[in-house]
Every structure is written in structure tokens, then in C-alpha cells.
Amino acid sequence: MSGWEDPQPMDADGPGVPSSSERNNAAREPAVTYVACGASHSLALLNSDIALSWGRGEDGQLGHGDADERKEPQAIYELLNSGVTSVHSGAEYSLACCRNRREVFSWGWGDFGRLGHGDARDVFIPRAIPGLSGKRVRDVACGDTHTLVSTFDAELWGFGRNQNGQLGLGHTDDAFAPICVEDLKGQQVQSVSCGSEHSIVATEEGKVYAWGWGRYGNVGDGSREDSSRRHRPARVQGLDNTRGVQVACGWRHTVVVDSEGRVYSFGWNKYGQLGHGTTADEIVPRLVETLSKRRIKSIAGGWRHTIAGDDKGQLWSFGWNKFGQLGLGKHDDAPLPELVIGLSGHTIAQLACGWRHSLAVSSEGQVFAWGRAGNGQLGLGDGRIPDQFTPQPVPCLSTGTIKLERFTSPRVPVTTYVAPADRYAVVPNQRQNSLPNGFMAVPQVVPICAQDGSPSSEQQQHGPSSHPLSGQLEQLEA
Amino acid sequence: MSQRAGSHGYASSSNSSASSSPVQSTSHQAPPVSDWHTLAKPVPATFREVARLQPNLQPNSPPLSRWNLLCAVEFSPGGSHLAAAGVGKKICIYPISSSQEQPSTIIPSSSNHHPSKLSSLNWSPNHADVVALGDYDGVVTQLHLPTGHSIWQADDHDGARIWSVQYSEQDPSLLVSACEDGTARLWSHHSEHCLNIIAPRSQAALCSAVFSPVNSHVMALASADHNAYVYDLRATQEPLYTLRGHQDSVSYVRFLSGGSDLITASIDGSLAHWHCDGLPASQPGSEQLQSQQSQSQSTACSMQLDPVRVFRGHSNAKNFVGLAVEPTNALIACGSENNEVYLYHTAWAEPMGHQPLHSQPSKQHKSSGLLKRHTAAERSFASAVAWQPASNWRRPEEQLLAAALSDSGIQLFRPRFHSPN
């Protein structure tokens, strides 16, 4: 669910992701180059190879080894010095691509195999996906419960839930490790995106294919009926005269940007997320007229909203806006694209949309966040922060003020796994929720007291698990 | 005035008479229910399993989740269906046949997908096929099950987890959500606009909120500040009663059918029975309301109560383990962190009996290794319990109890009562 702009052409071998501005390159000043949004969490990448995460953490999606929320960006210890080149979010899980080292890491909720490790276990510390090791990964797309990875070798790999054929394999068996999408083999995919249960790609030839769940018309084949036809990639209708270059998915809607910078949208439109000024679903791609005078270069699909970036680096947002996730300074839904005035003066290089929030990075590396703040997903810090209706700079990530040592000083995770019984259906205690960032105490069972206050014999404690990273700590400090 | 343990059994509300409580039949020679409060020791109870509810639609379909932790298990008002919802974001509906005798396996007749993890579910008392849902994203949903259409959704708890949703039996157009943000919100069935917000001063998380079964103006709340509260919705600045005595967060609160007695559960490992003298026993007329209101307010702005009785035997130090009160006999079922379900009665502090619940790993899981546990010590617990509504059974042997284990499915039991000797 993220969009980006490549300001410089990609080398076919992908030697490394170019940084977002030459100035940053020359000065090597730390700056954010990449952001991603999940359902209630966020990821960012500092060009000094530091992956950060914040927001909701109860499914392991932050990768810090515990199930706690973070209200401010925290570096993911396991990925320090791993050569991360991009970060990606599914609803409650995360991926990081290390293009040069040819590894992809995943962590978070593991059900249905969406993490690609060969099982369905949740992962709290990023783990490399064996099935993608050595591959020249070009791009990653995450939905709610499935993941697609495109390579520079004209392959598309899918894993995770497949009950609606969203992996495009021609059947509906879930895949717990990456499986190649045979129907697209040989076609070089240049853009890929996943919605809740559907998928879409644009190839380098400009052909657009979609598949999976499509009952809102979101696979763009003119029908609201799902069938086994949708278990394989099929050309999206009505785009034959255009070359699709970028695709993006929301929960049940889909957006395509063509080589001329025109935007087409289809699927669920209850909140105006298609940008046509209506709330009627569209079952085939329809041109977003309001943006036809602009050249759109980047696109991101949120849960029920969409944001497009034009060639001047301005953002246009439309759809659900109840929490201010459109950044328009109000919280009425917008069925037509509106300019995000709060970002005037900034050229947006990359943007991402989550379920109820949005993030953007300017070409100077300034990071903005807006929308729901209740789970810490905006990264604006402690305290009860209200929803933000206009883009807010994320203080600790703004160029010029980034203190690297804050992110790199060793904060070794204390736990590497939290059992479901210790993070779901847990009765809240009086002191609210999260403990101080980074150091979730190993889940403790409160001693049971007898009626007269004397402790009973029933007292259980879980001991801390031995931490496998402790050896690396010394290496870092050396 | 508080009542000390042992002075009498469950409160002498109108439902305690022998004529309205079916007498346990002679087949097990257990003493009649009307005599139970005279016995010093609990009547022993055992459980007979009558059905297992499979988590999946088809027995051989891929595992939904190795731990679709079921947080809510609820019978429909007529008792013909059971809804189960949990962390796996799915609502499964099971048909419950009227004569569930032979041990059998039941598969869901339908299921609905929800975007967020579900903590609670409650059937509408008067609209067939409509349920209210509370989820981990703080959203209250009214869902029409057959179409999967969401009648309305209210996302006003700012992303804080909702722990319970409940309709009022007296006025089924009202429902209440209890949230980790320390508020209970009152909703109308008709639209997603909040009618009222009840926020105890402590601002601690609320774990449960229920309406009185006899009075739609009276509501009880369970709080993480170790108290339960009873509020009059027309004057929410101060609670009518503060139920103080638990040593840790109160996770559930339930009324007994008379409307004057409550049962609470807490992660201090106990349940408690409370009696509120001044609570109206029936829906009064407006003049009576006003005089009662001023009466209760003049006696104490907020009356603090001690429990009538404290129940122990199960283990509960961390999780929501489920609490269900079977109103006609004041039988109380709750789950436990030792994977068992416990049965209590208001007459005795010790359990009448307890029953281990069994995991149900499927053959598929075992062979593929997908269910490998992370460590041998990964624990599970009984996570939800529910009684089939009393209208379904003519004789006490037909009482049906549903109990869910956190990492697998649901079992249905019938309790049996035995002679104490």
C-alpha cells in the first residue's frame, strides 16, 4: 500500500536505491528515503541503512521483539547494518528489502504464510525469507494477508492467503513460502500492489493485470462475480490504449497511473476513494477527471482513501477522511481529489497510506504524518495526541535534526517472541498499556493474593528467554 | 447494607422460589435447587460433553489460524445458533439442534469476515440475525449476519480496544460498549451517534459494561481500577454503587435476573457476588423513578459495597477467561487459565465442579508441522463461556454450556448434579 517516485532511473542490476536528493548523497546527512504504512503502524528507512518502526505492535509488526506500541520511531535492532533498501507494510506485518545483499526480511502476524517463512508463526524479530534469498528483488507489495514480490528477472513470487486466488496461481491453496506466478513468468513487472484480497501489476510493456477478490469491481474486469477466472492474472479492461506504469490498491479499490500521468480508478467507492465525485462503485477503470490536467507520478492506496503525487511534488487526496488522513485540514470525506495545501513549498518524493493515516517524505527528507494518532502511528511522541487533520512534521525524523545515536545506540530486544495468550485477551491493568519504549518486561503473572491479602501458593512467572543477539552487542560496541 | 458470606445463598429475589426453578430430577438424586442454600458444601457437578464445534467451514480446509483465540461465544436469543468471534477476525455461526444428545461435531453454517480483531459480540434481543461487535480498533459495528452488511459502524473510541458490547434486554434499541480508554459509550440501534458517555473518575480501562435486565436506566461497569460500578444513566456524574473488594482489575460484570445482584470476575483469581439493596426491582414509573433516585442519592452519593460472597477455585491472573451467569438457577460458569471451565453457584464459595477442555489439533496440522508451537511452554486458557438461554430447555438436565479454549474450538456440555454423599 505504498507509492514512490524514482527520481533517477533504476539500474537493471539495481546496485542500490538512489537517495532522494543529490544534496543528501553528497553530504550523507541522515535523511529518510522511504516510508510505509500498515493498518496502525508505520515504517521508515534512514538512508544510513537504519530501518525504523512505530505504532501498534501487538502482532509483532514493529520487529522489536515485543508486542508493545511505540509512539515514536525506534530503530529495528536486527536490521542494523543489514543493507535495507526499502521497507513495506501489510496490514499487520512488515517487510524489508535488502537489494544489494539479495535478502528480504519479514516480521509480524504470520497466519496463512504471509511472512513467507514456510509456516504460520508470528515473528517478532525480522527474519530473512529463505525462498527469496539470492533473488534480485525489484519490488514488494503487501496486502492484508498476502504478499507479492517482483524481481528484475521477470518473475513474480507470491505467498500468504490465497482463498480468493489473490496469489494468481490458478488455485486457492494458501502458500507458506514463495511460489512463482507462472502466468506472468517472462513479463517484467514494473509495479505491483496488493489490496485486502486482490492483486494488481503493471508490466514494463504497460500491460495491467489484476486478480483475486473482486466483488466491488476492484479487479476491473466488468463484473462483480468472483469465479475461478479470478484466480489467475487477467488483463484489466479498458486500459488497452494506455501504458500502465504504476498501480496501487486500497482495501477494496484499485488505482492505475499511466505513462501520461493520468489516473484510473475502480472498485469500492463508498467513501469517494475513487475520486470521481460520486460514491458509486466502478467495475471497470474510470479516468479521474479532476487530475487529468496534472501529471501524476506517484500513487498510494489507503484502506478507504487514495493519495496521488504530481510531477511538481504536490499531493492530491480523496476518499475517507474521518481521522484527517487526507491531510486537508478537515474531516469530511472528499469524493474528488483535493490539493494538500499543508504541504505547499515541499516537493514530495515518496508517500504511503495506511488504514487511517498517511505518511510522506519530501525531497529534502522532511517526514510528514497525518491522520489517526491514537495508536502512535504518527510517531509524534508520548501523550494523548489527537488525530491530525493536516500534515505534521515528525520531529525526530526531520533532516538537519536527526540524531543518529538516538537510533543506533544499542537497544537490544529483551524478548524475541510473545505468545498469543500474553498479548490478546489480556485484561488491562490500572496503569495503562505500554511500558517505556523498547523494554517490554517479560510478561509477568501478577501474584494471586488470598482474601486476607497474604500471597497464595499459586504464583507463576515466566523467565526471560535467552537472547540470541547478545553476542552482536559486543561487536557493535567494538 | 452488606451481607456476609454464609448468611444466605443467592439473594432472595423473586426467582428463587421452587416453582420457578426447575428441580433437579431424581435421576442423579441431587438435592432440589431450592434446598441448595441450606447445604454447607456444594452439590457436586460433572460435565457431559455433547458436541464439539469445529473452527473451519470444511473439515479439511486449511487451518484458519493456529490460535484463533475466541474471545466471544454467544447463543442467539432463541438458542438455535451460537456465534463465535475472536482474534482471527472471523465470526462463525453454528446451528445448535434442539436435541444435542449424542457427542457430535458441528461445523459452521456461515462465517463473516471482519477487518479487525474481535473482542466481543452480542445478539440483538429483538432483531433476528443482527449482532453487535466490539473490536481491537475501538469500532462498534452492528452487523446483519446473512448479508454480511454492516448496518452501521462507530469508530469513536480513538483506536482503543473495546472489551465488551451489550444490548439492553429492557430496551433493545440501546447498546453499550466498554473500552480501554476508560469510557463506556451508549449507542442507539438506529444510528452510529453516541448517546451518552459514562466515564468513572479513575479513568482506568473498562472491561465490561452491562445493562440491568429489569431496568434500562441502570448499568454496571467493570474497571481496571479494581472496582465495579453501578450507574444510573440519567445521572452519570457519580455511580450509584461502588463495588470494592477485588485486588486486581475486574474483567467481567453480570447481573442476576432480579436486577439487584451482580457477579463480578477479576484477575485476582476470584469471582464475587454483590447485592445492591436500593436497586429498583422492576422498571418503575416516572414518579417512582424520581423518588427512588433522590432516595439513593440522599443515602450516599455513591454507596460502597462489600461482596456477599467471594468464589475461588479457578485460576485467573491475566486473561479474559469468560463469565456466564445462567439466570434461573444462579449457576455461574467461568473459564480458567488451567484450560478448564468452572461451575459455581451463589450458595457456595467453592466450585461445584470443573471440566478440562481439550485442544483439537487436526491431522493436517500435525502432518505439516504448521502448528509447531514456539516453545513447549506456550500456554492456552479457557477464553469464553456461554449458557444457552433458558427458554430452550424444559428440564434442568438440558442446560447447555458452551466453552472455548484459546487455541482451538468450542465444546458444548450439559452439567449433571449429584448427591453430595
Model pLDDT for residues A87-108, shown as the tens digit of each residue: 999 999 999 999 999 999 999 9
E strand or H helix at A24, and its extent?
A: helix A22-27
Q: What percent of chain A has pLDDT over 90?
A: 78
Judged on CB neighbours under 10 Å (0-12, 13-18, 19+), A129 is buried
Contacts of B119 in chain A (CB under 8 A): 425
| Closest CB to A425 among B226, B247, B383 | B383
| Closest CB to B380 among A421, A428, A462 | A421
pLDDT level of residue A427 (50, 70, 90 thresholds): very high
* Shortest Cα–Cα distance, A119 to chain B (Å): 5
Mean per-residue pLDDT, A77-87: 94
Mean per-residue pLDDT, A381-396: 93
Contacts of A371 in chain B (CB under 8 A): none
Q: Which of A111, A112, A122, A427 is the best substitution to test chain B (most B C-beta atoms within 10 A)?
A: A427
Q: What per-residue confidence (pLDDT) applies to B370?
A: 42
B14: three-class secondary structure by DSSP: helix
Lowest mean pLDDT among A308-317, B230-239, B268-277, B399-408: B399-408
Q: What per-residue confidence (pLDDT) applies to B192?
A: 85
- A78: DSSP letter: G
- For A140-198, write each residue's pLDDT tens digit: 999 999 999 999 999 999 999 999 999 999 999 999 999 999 999 999 999 999 999 99
Q: Please indicate if any CB of chain A lies within 8 Å of the CB of B180.
A: yes
Alpha carbons A24 and A93: distance in angstroms, whole number: 30
Alpha carbons A145 and B327: distance in angstroms, whole number: 42
Q: Please indicate if any CB of chain A lies within 8 Å of the CB of B135.
A: no
Chain B residue with minimum CA distance to A252:
B115
| Closest CB to A428 among B62, B136, B205 | B205
* Shortest Cα–Cα distance, B204 to chain A (Å): 6
* Shortest Cα–Cα distance, A429 to chain B (Å): 5
- For B32-51, write each residue's pLDDT tens digit: 888 898 999 999 999 999 99
Do B315 and A448 make contact, defined as CB atoms within 8 angstroms? yes
Q: What per-residue confidence (pLDDT) applies to B71?
A: 95
Q: Which residues pair with A88 in a beta bridge?
A: A95
Angle at A60 between CA A56 and CA A64, to 5 degrees: 90
β-strands B340-345, A156-160: how paired?
Answer: unpaired
Alpha carbons B156 and B159: distance in angstroms, whole number: 8
Q: Count of A–B CB contacts within 8 Å? A: 120
Judged on CB neighbours under 10 Å (0-12, 13-18, 19+), B15 is middle
Do B319 and A421 make contact, defined as CB atoms within 8 angstroms? yes
Q: Identify the CA nearest to B298 among candidates B328, B269, B282, B278.
A: B278
How many C-beta neighbours within 10 Å does residue A390 have?
A: 16
> Which domains, and CATH codes, for chain B?
20-74+84-113+324-332+345-362+377-421 (no CATH), 118-309 (2.130.10.10)
Chain B residue with minimum CA distance to A458:
B315
Q: What per-residue confidence (pLDDT) applies to A478?
A: 33
Q: What per-residue confidence (pLDDT) applies to A458?
A: 35
Q: Report whether pLDDT(B367) > 70.
A: no
Alpha carbons A281 and A261: distance in angstroms, whole number: 23
- A355: DSSP letter: S
Alpha carbons B29 and B68: distance in angstroms, whole number: 40
pLDDT level of residue B57 (50, 70, 90 thresholds): low
Do A427 and B319 make contact, defined as CB atoms within 8 angstroms? yes
Contacts of A422 in chain B (CB under 8 A): 318
Q: Report whether pLDDT(A344) > 60.
A: yes
Mean per-residue pLDDT, A419-427: 94
Alpha carbons A169 and A166: distance in angstroms, whole number: 8
Do B205 and A446 make contact, defined as CB atoms within 8 angstroms? no
pLDDT level of residue A17 (50, 70, 90 thresholds): very low
b/e map A12-27, b = 16+ CB within 10 Å: eebeebbbbbeebeee
* Shortest Cα–Cα distance, B185 to chain A (Å): 18
Contacts of B248 in chain A (CB under 8 A): 429, 446
Q: Please indicate if any CB of chain A lies within 8 Å of the CB of B251.
A: yes
* Shortest Cα–Cα distance, A114 to chain B (Å): 12
Do A420 and B248 make contact, defined as CB atoms within 8 angstroms? no
For all residues of chain B together, what is the average pLDDT? 83
Q: What per-residue confidence (pLDDT) applies to B396?
A: 61
Alpha carbons B143 and B230: distance in angstroms, whole number: 28
Contacts of B380 in chain A (CB under 8 A): 421
Contacts of B152 in chain A (CB under 8 A): none
Q: Report whether pLDDT(B375) > 90.
A: no
Q: What per-residue confidence (pLDDT) applies to B100?
A: 57
- For A112-137, write each residue's pLDDT tens digit: 999 999 999 999 999 999 999 999 99
pTM: 0.86
pLDDT level of residue B360 (50, 70, 90 thresholds): low
pLDDT level of residue B382 (50, 70, 90 thresholds): very high
Q: What per-residue confidence (pLDDT) applies to B104?
A: 83
Q: Is the separation of the CB atoms in A332 and A323 below 8 Å? A: no
Do B320 and A462 make contact, defined as CB atoms within 8 angstroms? no
Q: Is the separation of the CB atoms in B385 and B411 below 8 Å? A: no
| Closest CB to A451 among B67, B310, B407 | B310
- For B78-130, write each residue's pLDDT tens digit: 999 999 999 999 999 999 986 656 678 888 888 899 999 999 999 999 998 99
Q: Please indicate if any CB of chain A lies within 8 Å of the CB of B380.
A: yes
Do B224 and A375 make contact, defined as CB atoms within 8 angstroms? no
Q: What per-residue confidence (pLDDT) applies to B330?
A: 84
Do B87 and A424 make contact, defined as CB atoms within 8 angstroms? yes
pLDDT level of residue A28 (50, 70, 90 thresholds): low
Q: Is the separation of the CB atoms in A207 and A237 below 8 Å? A: no
* Shortest Cα–Cα distance, B65 to chain A (Å): 6
Q: Which of B271, B379, B381, B406 is the best substitution to test chain A (most A C-beta atoms within 10 A)?
A: B379
Whole-number Cα distances in Å, B172 to B117, B126, B327: 25, 6, 19
- For A442-472, write each residue's pLDDT tens digit: 333 333 333 344 443 333 333 333 333 333 3
Contacts of B267 in chain A (CB under 8 A): 427, 446
pLDDT level of residue A9 (50, 70, 90 thresholds): very low
How many C-beta neighbours within 10 Å does residue A149 have?
A: 27
Chain A residue with minimum CA distance to B379:
A421
How many C-beta neighbours within 10 Å does residue A465 have?
A: 15
Q: Report whether pLDDT(A404) > 90.
A: no
Q: Which of B374, B375, B383 is the best substitution to test chain A (most A C-beta atoms within 10 A)?
A: B374
Do B318 and A446 make contact, defined as CB atoms within 8 angstroms? yes
Mean per-residue pLDDT, B363-389: 64
Q: What per-residue confidence (pLDDT) applies to B355?
A: 96
Lowest mean pLDDT among A398-412, B24-38, B336-350: B24-38
Question: What ipTM was assigned to the predicted interfaces of this complex?
Answer: 0.87
Contacts of A432 in chain B (CB under 8 A): 180, 204-205
Q: Identify the CA nearest to A441 among candidates A425, A470, A463, A471.
A: A463
Do A460 and B247 make contact, defined as CB atoms within 8 angstroms? no
Contacts of A425 in chain B (CB under 8 A): 69, 71, 87, 119, 319-320, 383, 406
Q: What per-residue confidence (pLDDT) applies to B56?
A: 67
Q: What per-residue confidence (pLDDT) applies to B23?
A: 45
Q: Which residues contact A26 (CB under 8 A, 6 or more apart)?
A: none
Lowest mean pLDDT among A20-29, A289-298, B211-220, B301-310: A20-29
Instruction: Concatenate the DSSP letters of all residues of B307-360 into one string.
Output: -SEEEESS--SSB---EEEETTTTEEEEE-TTSEEEEEETTEEEEEEEEE----
Do A121 and B374 make contact, defined as CB atoms within 8 angstroms? yes
| Closest CB to A430 among B63, B225, B270 | B225
- For B162-192, write each residue's pLDDT tens digit: 999 999 999 999 999 999 999 999 999 888 8
> Which domains, and CATH codes, for chain A?
2-418 (2.130.10.30)
| Closest CB to B406 among A322, A421, A429 | A421
Do B370 and A453 make contact, defined as CB atoms within 8 angstroms? no
Mean per-residue pLDDT, A252-268: 98
How many CA atoms does the CB half-sphere of B55 hold within 13 Å?
Answer: 26
Whole-number Cα distances in Å, A296 to A244, A345, B35, B245: 12, 18, 79, 63
For all residues of chain A together, what is the average pLDDT? 86
Q: Is the separation of the CB atoms in B81 and B93 below 8 Å? A: yes
Q: What per-residue confidence (pLDDT) applies to B33?
A: 84
Q: Report whether pLDDT(B195) > 90.
A: yes
Chain A residue with minimum CA distance to B250:
A427
Q: What per-residue confidence (pLDDT) applies to A410?
A: 65
Higher pLDDT, B34 or A376: A376
CA B366 to chain centre: 33
Do A420 and B207 make contact, defined as CB atoms within 8 angstroms? no
The order of strands in the sheet holding A348-353 is: A2-4, A348-353, A357-362, A367-371, A388-393
Q: Give the residue numbers in A contacting B (CB under 8 Å), as ranges.
A: 39-40, 58, 111-112, 119-121, 173-174, 176, 251, 322, 356, 372, 374-375, 387, 417, 419-422, 424-430, 432-433, 443, 445-449, 451, 453, 456, 458, 460, 462, 465
How many CA atoms does the CB half-sphere of A372 hold within 13 Å?
Answer: 30
Q: What per-residue confidence (pLDDT) applies to A384?
A: 85
Do B224 and A449 make contact, defined as CB atoms within 8 angstroms? no
Do B247 and A462 make contact, defined as CB atoms within 8 angstroms? no
Contacts of A445 in chain B (CB under 8 A): 317-318
